[in-house]
Amino acid sequence: MKLKLFLLALFFSIFTDAQNSFELVNVKKAVIPFQLINNLIFIPINVNGAELTFMLDTGVAETILFSLENKEVKLQNIEKMKFSGLGGNLSIDGFKSDRNTAKIGDHIINSSMLLFIVLSEEFNISSHIGIPVNGIIGYHFFKNHPVSIDYTSKKITVYQDANAFKKKVRKFNELPMSVEKDKPYINADVEMTNEKKSSKLLIDLGNSDAIWLFPALIKDFVYNRPNIDDYLGRGFNGDIYGKRSRIHHFYLGDFKFEKPLTAMPDEYSIQHVTLVKDRKGSVGGEIMRRFSVVFDYTGGKLYLKKNKNFNDSFHFNMSGLDFKQDGLEWQEDRVKIEPKHLSPASSGNEISMGNNFQYKFTLKPIFSIAGIRKDSPAFIAGLKKDDRIITINGSQTSEMTMEKIIELMKSDEGRNITMVIQRKNKEMVFNFVLEDPIPYQE
């Protein structure tokens, strides 16, 4: 995957129950650990007794359930409806369910959660993330209380106590933020080449890229060169295509970023989306992960404090490959052990063999190629969609994570990559060199 999440953004014209909100119970603040994968945040939420994983996304107004991963969830008051969002088609069928109970940890509770449901494998993003993901949660998580996101410790803090919140943001940079149609917006300066232009941008935590710009909405827009045509992700209405390039500088308050990667969806991909007035694009997770961030929806403020990631370069997946995880399979690991540690009889999934070895069967991930960019290094080398990846640079992919694979493809220009793949039961070896197709040029 090109690290633009499939379920990029959702747009609804729905009036929802004002009571659909999370409340803190018996505490002044609550801390939630999260997983960070490809700049995207995943949190555990218990819905009607079922333990689920949701992506945290400021770019959506409503709470979406799109996969159950073999889990049983008893949903309340189900009605059929239609959705629309980014992509080429007009709408998709789904359901809504209200008066559900959601809990995050022991102290954050929503006793009247409204869920919108699209249970279709086409929208199941788990294979592209590398962990089971059941849904997306947005506005209703943020709307009542200040929310702090620490990208380095991977912890979210929700504040009920005003004094604790004020103490938290004392040394942060404060920026004005508007909340329109239940989503947060900020004004930032975009410098394509040498002229700064103030631009209204959605703060989109469900977007793993740095910046998105909408050329169709920007007067006299000219694409920077070099640029490439690319698959940018997927919305509820279909695939999103456009161009990728770099801009000279991006300014967010007093903070300046050099040569950030920028994605620009084509006009067809946004034709059915109703955008707020004057919006020019989005700022995503690749920018936000460089800060400790505090959202205060009720106060209309965004607070930023740069962290250790702030000066990281903006790296691109230079292979041209889009990866997916095709489930898990049992594999055996041969482990050498001392005879005295052998038990008289094997149990569970362990089998003793002789006096010196034990075979342990464990579930390991299977990775394959979901797509490939034309004229990319991997495309030229001869790799194809659906090739199963066995090893990368000598390392078994069954011992890797999706995150590790992507990091490798974004690591260093000029790096040699050797892949052993399986195609129609035949193992094949391919070699290519990572090359940045869109270096910024003055």
Q: Decide if 10-162 and 173-306 have a common fold.
A: yes
Q: In 10 A of CB 327, how many CB atoms?
A: 10
Q: pTM for the complete prediction?
A: 0.85
> What are the domain boundaries of the chain?
10-162, 173-306, 321-433
Eight-class DSSP state of 267: G
321-433 classified as CATH 3.40.1280.10: no
pLDDT at 47: 93
The superfamily CATH assigns to domain 10-162 is: Acid Proteases (2.40.70.10)
Positions in the chain short of pLDDT 70: 1-18, 83-91, 120-124, 234-238, 272, 329-361
pLDDT at 232: 83
Tokens standing for 58? 């400021």
Question: How far is the C-alpha of 17 from the C-alpha of 272, rounded, in Å?
Answer: 25
Beta partners for residue 37, in sequence order? 40
What dihedral do alpha carbons 333, 335, 340, 345 form, nearest 10°? 10
Tokens standing for 284? 């995503």
DSSP assignment string, 136-163 = EE-HHHHSSS-EEEETTTTEEEEE--HH
pLDDT at 333: 60
pLDDT in tens, 399-420: 999 889 999 999 888 999 999 9
pLDDT at 186: 97
pLDDT in tens, 280-304: 999 999 999 999 999 999 999 999 9
- Residue bearing tokens 């969609």: 385
pLDDT at 331: 64
Please choose, from the candidates 344, 439, 424, the residue with its C-alpha nearest in 3D space to the C-alpha of residue 384: 424
Number of H helices, E strands in the chain: 6, 33
Question: How far is the C-alpha of 324 from the C-alpha of 30, rounded, in Å?
Answer: 34
Please provide residue 26's backbone torsions phi and psi, each rounded to the nearest 5 degrees.
Answer: 65, 20
Q: Is 105 exposed, middle or buried (0-12, 13-18, 19+ CB in 10 A)?
A: middle
Eight-class DSSP state of 270: G
pLDDT at 126: 76
pLDDT at 94: 81
Question: How far is the C-alpha of 188 from the C-alpha of 254, rounded, in Å?
Answer: 10
Element (H, E) at 26: none
Please provide residue 217's backbone torsions phi and psi, each rounded to the nearest 5 degrees.
Answer: -105, 5
The superfamily CATH assigns to domain 173-306 is: Acid Proteases (2.40.70.10)
